[in-house]
Chain A
């Protein structure tokens, strides 16, 4: 009996002691994620973080859809457009854009803000991790690419959430722009900082700085990612937006002179084939990785097709008005090839044929834009850098099956931009820089023509002043 008792005691004590070591089992590591402090230790890690930023830029909130579709809807007259492109879908966030009744809690507007700054933070994280890249050339290239991404996102933000640049290239533009973020959120404290809006002038200055630096550091070829010419092409856009035609001309000319890019034979090629010569930069997608095929993504909203199997493809929420379609010259291949009568969700409605495949790439800058920028700037400045305006303009027109214009005037070039880029996200920015009203007659500097600072941002950062009118 005695011995038996000791056996109990010993075995029980052993059991209790064994159980007490359960505490060690509480150390569990995540499986799909890695600790941030050790995530970037090699050059490859830095490069993958850059790719991460591209991944975010493919989000539906950015180039995956909204940065392309919203500038079109913002330019139109009303959602069921009579004059341009319109929105017939049930989602009310795009409808608010088309009707200029944007609420401060518009989910898509909020998402653009959030995802753009998320991308900027990734770029800043890259910039602060460069010391692990030992190869100097590679380090420069990565630095340039991160600066390009940071500059690009600040540019998209400032032209949507702040008033149009006015008063010529040297005007101060001291109205509120957007917050400028140049520091990675490496700690919780930095991430929680309340950052005020900088002036429009300051934001443009930073954007130009970043893109200029980027263009001097990035490689000439960078596979399917942005190259130094992408930075120059965006820089041309930035200068054009602020009316700095001389600099826009120089940047556009540099891109063209590189001879890396050329117009495709057909107007549809750039949307049907990945990474053609016409593209200065495309967002890469495939069937598996894309911005969406049900509730987001360009093809989802633009496509209005019978899938040939008794079903339909696309929601066909984004439509082309009859009146706008009628403004195309009858021979214009962009009207005949890139506008079609829907056979899908909205049978009979006209649709824009640029995005019809959920997994297709999204061209962000095409060389035709550079030709038209060079043409416009040469015409405005009375110069002939690279080519005379007529030559650049007619290059684009001929490809579209149109006759030459021997002596173009400014309006010819502006119109050409409308026909060439409809649906691609340039519309409202062009109207604003040209100080033209929307298709519905709203002045370019109307308070409604600036997105509101998202409500959630103002609730978390009391330093952010709201735009007038909201």
Chain B
């Protein structure tokens, strides 16, 4: 490998030698075509090279021209690119106009950028300006409905919880489904680093990224594009670019927003009289005495009292939202800076759940000389809050809906009642705390140097540091701390990543016809994670809450793990006659997770090839009035996945405690030939624009196949092990994506629309004979021939009108009341048939209105809580209101079996609790007013905007649970579309103001 790169380096230097020669100078001024005002910060570049500069605050520029420079290219955000042919003039004045914005948009492609016009891959982009007035739970939400090929499910309404993101379907079973996140070139650790022993929902490192400082989010969807990140590109790559300083007068921007939030929807449960009616009937049907049974199970005589408690809503409340942001940016040709800070404080819709985020960022660019540039991005963000437990914990406030309305909220001393059927977790509000603090830095420094005209060397060192502290105290009246004199827990987790990349970039035009770009480089990154925790019991009283106050240490650990990756990158971009495009790249990637037994498994080769043809540059279409832009493109690429445990291939011993002793034991078998999971994809696309690009859009068709999947092969447990990591199996995702933007009205009253729709079909092709079965209470199965996680189990057939028994379908399609005799079959699919969004943007004079909708169609949801809450009064859990439609007498036709206490009538796992999860949601609405400049100039204010905006304003769905945008996190990656007391999303309305000075 070393030799190969030495050779490449030689070739580079040779090429650079050829172009190195005399220089001359050109200067000029750039103005705005609208009003002739100077435009500062415009990029002026010699076409086909990286020789360039930025205009001064007065719009002036001066540039040393390399020999053979023939054309200048001027680019400026929000304005159309403009080219100026050099004919020997020494002074050039140019005016830029806003125009064909979409096509001049710059797209980030990994180790570089590209004009949208020349992009040959499938890349979705969302600009920060598209969501700057929207309160985002986490930044990923910005992609919802606005991007094709990216499926995002918010998961739940817990603050800061990770959204579920799938780029072009699910490509991997056991090796992670999360895309790779790269912030300003720094890949970040996006999975939870918190302790598995904590009682909190897994932390989400992405919550530390402040949406306000994002300039753009680019999603590399196809493998040909993502393969530049070969190693970890199989689930797509999400590139986040933060805002940078611009040349010109210093701009100060201040924003303030305040608002409130409510649950999107509440579920309906029985009130006291309905509960009494149903359970009395259920007990009678089962031949037991309701009073005695209620007393035995709750330890109270509440059956005979007169309480009527609305437990279902006791865990929900109205939340608040407050945010203040400040950013300062400016600079001159030599130095530019961007400084921002944010304070965000949210009170969640779940009792006991809140989150604060504050921190800031400094991005600096400095030109040391005309050839050398240096820059730094420094960021530190603190996130802290009171956390909620995972959905399956009795401490989850939504689980309060299981409590009987006959039991009081508070006891006779006014404290939260502790004599309830299940634990009354409201006690945690007064007697417990579950806190987290996270500090995250995503920073890098870089230096670039033009070795020769057209040849640039860049070195970039970055790090991503996370420190998570989790602290819990649960007092004596709580479930966790009861019986042990209080319980304390403290965990410190660190994740330290460092990244060092070195690239050589060569750009050159030959004869105006050939544009060549070559990139080679080496990229190294590693990650170390450490954590240590201690837990303790027996505190003097509940006012002492630190481990120092405890007498009994009941657990503790220190833990460390690490990994490293190295990639050798190369990429060639070639453009001929401005219309024929070629991009080829190869990434050779090595992972510390492979190759312990045999080095040949350590490295993977990940190539990508893309071709494009801008048809409208051809003479026969150049002057078409209707078709303003047409590009066809095709690509093939291979990406890899090594997202498994750091030492999954190793044959290992571990340790285990036994009383006062410590023992050792075998814990893992060797997987000698473990290697990269590979994903091959073919992508064909079309970019088009009609009528001067007033209607433009993109269509992509793809077929991606994952092979050598890093699957956990189940072993017979008789050998002492349950599973072994192997490269087996294959999976396919095929799909079509369509995105259209249109400018419906362009006059004073402007109306733009965007529409996206994505169809993806997943099929598991090969599992090497193994299956991943749903488990006791889940339905998602992974098996050959089916879609990932399709619902598999018994099919509920309603109720026998004669006797009220629950019925199921047997193999012959006949009904039976014997659950065990019913046939296991496909009973649903959590994968949507299609999803997308429609956005409309209106503006009239200084007013604007943005409405973004999101739709998901054809997916099923399994309400796992149905076992308890919609179970024909099988146990004392409060029941959903639909259980009142139970069968009561022969002849009744209903879908709710006869109520039978302890009767197990229809309470086994079946499609009884599977529902259609399709929904249409108004995801965000933003209405604002830009105060005209004439009112502001006297106030020394440059700009001002007031707005009101809302998230999840309303939802149309048939799903009767809390919220169709649901995915419980406690079941892991293989169970999709499961709802288990999962909190609903928040409906948030905020009022905000932005002022620029």
| Chain A residues engaging chain B, CB cutoff 8 angstroms | 8-9, 12-13, 15-17, 19-20, 22-23, 25-28, 30-37, 39-40, 45, 48-56, 58, 79-80, 88, 90, 93, 101, 103, 105-107, 113-114, 117-118, 120-122, 124-125, 179, 181, 185, 187-188, 190-195, 224, 284-289, 293-294, 303, 305, 307, 309-314, 342, 344-349, 358-359, 361, 454-457, 459-461, 464
Q: Which residues of B contact A314 (CB under 8 A)?
A: 483
Cβ A12 vs Cβ B457 within 8 A: yes
A-contact 0/1 string along B535-565, CB 8 Å cutoff: 0010001000000000011111001111111
Q: Which of B666, B714, B771 has the most CB of A within 10 A?
A: B666
Q: Which residues of A contact B591 (CB under 8 A)?
A: 26
Q: Which residues of B contact A310 (CB under 8 A)?
A: 418, 476-477
A-contact 0/1 string along B501-522, CB 8 Å cutoff: 0101000000000000000001
Give the CA-CA distance A461 to B295 in the complex, in Å: 47
Cβ B592 vs Cβ A27 within 8 A: yes
Cβ A30 vs Cβ B646 within 8 A: yes
B935 at the interface (CB under 8 A from A): no
Contact of A28 among B563, B662, B776 (CB under 8 A): B563
Q: Which of B457, B655, B715 has the most CB of A within 10 A?
A: B715
- Given contacts A26-B602, A307-B482, whether A191 and B771 have CB atoms under 8 Å apart is no
Cβ A181 vs Cβ B502 within 8 A: no
Cβ B658 vs Cβ A345 within 8 A: no
B939 at the interface (CB under 8 A from A): no
Cβ A121 vs Cβ B299 within 8 A: no
Instruction: List residues 553-604 of chain B with CB under 8 A from any CB of chain A.
Output: 553-556, 559-566, 590-592, 595, 602
Given A15-B502, A20-B5, A31-B562, list of 10 further CB < 8 A pairs? A8-B451, A16-B2, A36-B666, A48-B663, A52-B663, A122-B665, A122-B666, A309-B476, A344-B483, A456-B714
Q: Which residues of A contact B771 (CB under 8 A)?
A: 459
B615 at the interface (CB under 8 A from A): no
B724 at the interface (CB under 8 A from A): yes
Cβ B483 vs Cβ A33 within 8 A: no
Give the CA-CA distance A305 to B484 in the complex, in Å: 11
Cβ B657 vs Cβ A25 within 8 A: no
Q: Which residues of B contact A117 (CB under 8 A)?
A: 717-720
List the 5 closest pairs (A to B, CB-CB), nearest first: A313-B483, A121-B720, A284-B659, A51-B663, A311-B482
Q: Which residues of B contact A347 (CB under 8 A)?
A: 299-300, 419
Q: Which of B504, B671, B717, B721 has the most CB of A within 10 A?
A: B717
Cβ A52 vs Cβ B502 within 8 A: no
Contact of A305 among B483, B553, B565, B717 (CB under 8 A): B483
Give the CA-CA distance A20 to B520 in the complex, in Å: 13
Cβ B9 vs Cβ A12 within 8 A: yes
| Chain B residues engaging chain A, CB cutoff 8 angstroms | 1-2, 5-6, 9, 13, 293, 295-297, 299-300, 418-419, 422, 451, 457, 459, 475-478, 480-485, 500, 502, 504, 522, 524, 526, 537, 541, 552-556, 559-566, 590-592, 595, 602, 646-647, 650-672, 714-722, 724, 770-771, 773, 775-776, 868, 875, 902, 904
Q: Which residues of B contact A12 (CB under 8 A)?
A: 9, 451, 457, 504
Number of A-B contacts (CB under 8 A): 283
Q: Which residues of A contact B657 (CB under 8 A)?
A: 55, 288-289
Give the CA-CA distance A118 to B721 in the complex, in Å: 7
Give the CA-CA distance A53 to B662 in the complex, in Å: 11
Contact of B554 among A22, A101, A287, A457 (CB under 8 A): A287
Contact of B647 among A33, A294, A359 (CB under 8 A): A33
Q: Which residues of B contact A90 (CB under 8 A)?
A: 422, 868, 875
Contact of A285 among B502, B555, B659 (CB under 8 A): B659
Residue on B nearest A120 in the bound complex, by CB: B720
Contact of B477 among A15, A289, A303, A311 (CB under 8 A): A311
Contact of B561 among A15, A17, A31, A309 (CB under 8 A): A31
Cβ A287 vs Cβ B552 within 8 A: yes
Contact of A313 among B1, B482, B654 (CB under 8 A): B482
Cβ A188 vs Cβ B671 within 8 A: yes
Q: Which of B560, B650, B669, B718 has the most CB of A within 10 A?
A: B718
| A-B residue pairs in contact (CB < 8 Å), sample of 29 | A8-B451, A16-B502, A26-B595, A28-B563, A28-B646, A35-B653, A40-B653, A40-B664, A51-B662, A52-B664, A54-B658, A79-B902, A101-B904, A120-B720, A121-B719, A122-B666, A124-B720, A191-B721, A193-B718, A287-B552, A288-B657, A289-B658, A289-B659, A311-B418, A314-B483, A346-B296, A347-B300, A349-B296, A464-B716
Q: Shortest Cβ distance from B501 into chain A, in angstroms?
A: 9
- Given contacts A33-B653, A106-B776, A191-B715, whether A17 and B663 have CB atoms under 8 Å apart is no
Residue on B nearest A180 in the bound complex, by CB: B718
Q: Shortest Cβ distance from A440 into chain B, in angstroms?
A: 14
Q: Which residues of A contact B652 (CB under 8 A)?
A: 30, 33-36
Q: Which residues of B contact A58 (CB under 8 A)?
A: 658-659
